[in-house]
Amino acid sequence: MHDATPLIATLVGGLVLAFVFGALALRLRLPVLAGYLVAGVVAGPFTPGYVADAHIAQELADLGVILLMFGVGLHFSLKDLLAVKAISIPGAAAQMGVATGLGMLLGWWLGWPPAQGFVFGLALSVASTVVLLRAMEERRLLDTDRGRIAVGWLIVEDLAMVLALVLLPAIGGFLGAGHDGPAPTVGALIETVAWTIGKVVVFVALMLIVGKRAIPWVLQTVSASGSRELFRLAVLAIALGVAFGAAHLFDVSFELGAFFAGMMMGESKLSQRAAEETLPLRDAFAVLFFVSIGMLFNPRILVEQPWVVLAACLIIVVGKSLAAFVIVRAFGRPPKTALTIATSLAQIGEFSFILAGLGVSLGLLSSQARDILLAAAIVSILINPLLFVALDRWIARHDADTPDDHPDMAGHTVLVGHGRVGRRVLAELQAVGARTLLIESDEDAVRELRARGDVEVVVGNAAAAPVLAEANLAEARALIVAVSDPFEGGQIVRAARALRPDLPIVARAHSPECVGHLGGLGASEVVYGEQEVARSMFAAAQPKRESTH
């Protein structure tokens, strides 16, 4: 038997432990992220037993972040980014300033040098890409106004941290880092800032001028070859290649490079297919990201410095979020949007760890301060899903208290989802004059449908009981679940069946396994797309019988 290499051992160990503890967390009705983090703690060097290679785990996690940001870029256009710049740029800058100031205040109270307080506070100010996007994707918020603001905010934080990581070594002398030799001059510092900003500008310009045309063209050319394998390889090569090139040629972060690669690929008509091809890899490597965080955690810090860890957590979860809420409300956005942004930012992650590691290497941050930061990060990541659950309940209550726009709705068909299939189902229902109520979570789509005025619409997650109650499922004629994700569809079917045991429920599936899954959860009928296409093609190929007179 061959001895497992560190790469294989880390990959297998991380995924197996993540599965075991993730399933256990789900069984205990805890956030599945908690299970992934515990898996990392078990695989880390601070607990007995199996120890994974931390360096390899971090590199695998970096791949997850790259693919995740690439996926976000696929669904995000330059127009979307520019549409939220008025709130994202000043909002992110102000929120980072508040969090950094609170971190410096905590450092002053603990007697830390000002430089250590500054680096510590700056690390507290930036949210985790993976945690934020996971929460947004689970709630299908990325294509909403709230989601676009959050992603725009994230991009501004990313750019700020790119600048900070480049400038920190240059200004280490000014901040008191223990360097041998003379401290850098102000002129050298200005030159470093200008050079860094210039490289970022060149990269962005190159992507907007060359990448916007070249990337869709490559994708279209490869697609014309008819090879699905080559198409998938092209998507991954572009995502990883642009991210790598951005980091090594322009000193731009992997995440930002991948985001722009995805955004330029989004100009192609094949962007939806590209997103589907990379989804399995994105999910697998995102799991490894949380495992890698757990591996960094030293539980001893909770015993040695519990109050300092608590204070850092309060800055992240309360101070930073409160600042974001006030900023978003100051821009005239509704409470729902402000609370969503505040909740999204109530955690810290990958950039915080990179900054902390650089701070320690420069002598600006002590190892104890880094351990406090890691502990606060893990606690905030564990708390964040619970905050989103509370937010979902508040929104459901708030929407339930809103005057009912359809009080007399009865004998109607409830349609969930207004995607490619949902649009066609809605058109068919309207063609036969069937009274229809649509449930959709995309707020922009809801606004457009309400402006049309030809269908009743409920906004929200159809798996939530308050949303189904608002759709008056008790008096509905049927429920059609047209969402593409079988797991999301299964949650909706199960919730609807619990509320109305006799309701006819029709769901869609992409495979025979999904047919069994949805049927087992209570769907009356499951439409398997490929099977229906095959039947139609067979019927169309049959010779037409001539009528006899």
Q: In this predicted structure, what is the pLDDT of residue 1?
A: 40
Helix, strand or coil for residue 328? helix
End residue of a domain, out of 364, 397, 430: 397
386 and 434 fall within a common domain? no
**403 part of a folded domain:** no
**465 part of a folded domain:** yes
177 and 307 fall within a common domain? yes
Q: In this predicted structure, what is the pLDDT of residue 327?
A: 93
364 and 426 fall within a common domain? no
**479 part of a folded domain:** yes
Range of the domain at 521: 413-541
- List the chain pLDDT tens, one digit each, 549 residues: 455 588 888 888 889 999 999 999 888 877 788 888 889 888 888 888 778 887 888 888 888 888 878 887 887 777 777 788 889 889 999 999 999 999 999 999 999 998 899 999 999 999 887 788 778 877 777 777 788 888 889 888 887 887 787 777 767 666 655 555 555 666 776 777 788 788 888 988 998 888 888 988 988 888 888 888 898 898 889 989 998 998 888 877 787 888 888 888 887 777 777 877 777 787 788 888 888 888 888 888 888 889 999 999 999 999 999 999 999 999 888 888 899 999 999 998 778 888 888 888 888 888 889 889 989 988 898 898 889 888 888 876 776 555 445 545 778 999 998 888 888 888 888 888 888 898 887 766 777 787 787 788 887 778 776 677 778 888 889 999 988 777 788 888 988 888 888 999 999 888 787 888 888 888 899 888 777 778 888 888 877 665 555
Angle CA(102)–CA(107)–CA(108) in degrees, nearest 5?
95
Our count of domains for the chain comes to: 2
Q: In this predicted structure, what is the pLDDT of residue 185?
A: 67
Helix, strand or coil for residue 454? coil
End residue of a domain, out of 397, 424, 454: 397
Q: In this predicted structure, what is the pLDDT of residue 255?
A: 79
End residue of a domain, out of 397, 429, 449: 397
CATH number of the domain bearing residue 427: 3.40.50.720
Beta bridge partners of 440: 459
506 and 424 fall within a common domain? yes
**381 part of a folded domain:** yes
338 and 235 fall within a common domain? yes
Distance, in Å, from the CA atom of 237 to the CA atom of 275, rounded to the nearest integer, reads 14
Q: In this predicted structure, what is the pLDDT of residue 329?
A: 92
**197 part of a folded domain:** yes
**513 part of a folded domain:** yes
Q: What is the DSSP string of 146-194?
A: HHHHHHHHHHHHHHHHHHHHHHHHHHHHHHT---SSPPPPHHHHHHHHH
303 and 430 fall within a common domain? no
Beta-carbon contacts of 103 under 8 Å, excluding residues fewer than 6 positions away, are 117, 118, 120, 121, 122, 123, 124, 125, 312, 315
The CA-atom distances, in angstroms, between 96 and each of 350, 372, 488 are 16, 19, 35
| Contact status, residue 141 vs residue 391, Cβ threshold 8 Å | no
Q: In this predicted structure, what is the pLDDT of residue 181?
A: 52
**45 part of a folded domain:** no
CATH number of the domain bearing residue 329: 1.20.1530.20
Beta-carbon contacts of 64 under 8 Å, excluding residues fewer than 6 positions away, are 130, 282, 284, 285, 286, 287, 288, 289
352 and 425 fall within a common domain? no
125 and 173 fall within a common domain? yes
Angle between the N-to-C axes of helices 320-330 and 335-344, in degrees from 0 to 180, rounded to the nearest 10:
150
456 and 311 fall within a common domain? no
137 and 256 fall within a common domain? yes
Beta bridge partners of 478: 413
Q: In this predicted structure, what is the pLDDT of residue 184?
A: 60
Helix, strand or coil for residue 27? helix
387 and 509 fall within a common domain? no
Q: In this predicted structure, what is the pLDDT of residue 403?
A: 47
Q: In this predicted structure, what is the pLDDT of residue 172?
A: 65
258 and 343 fall within a common domain? yes
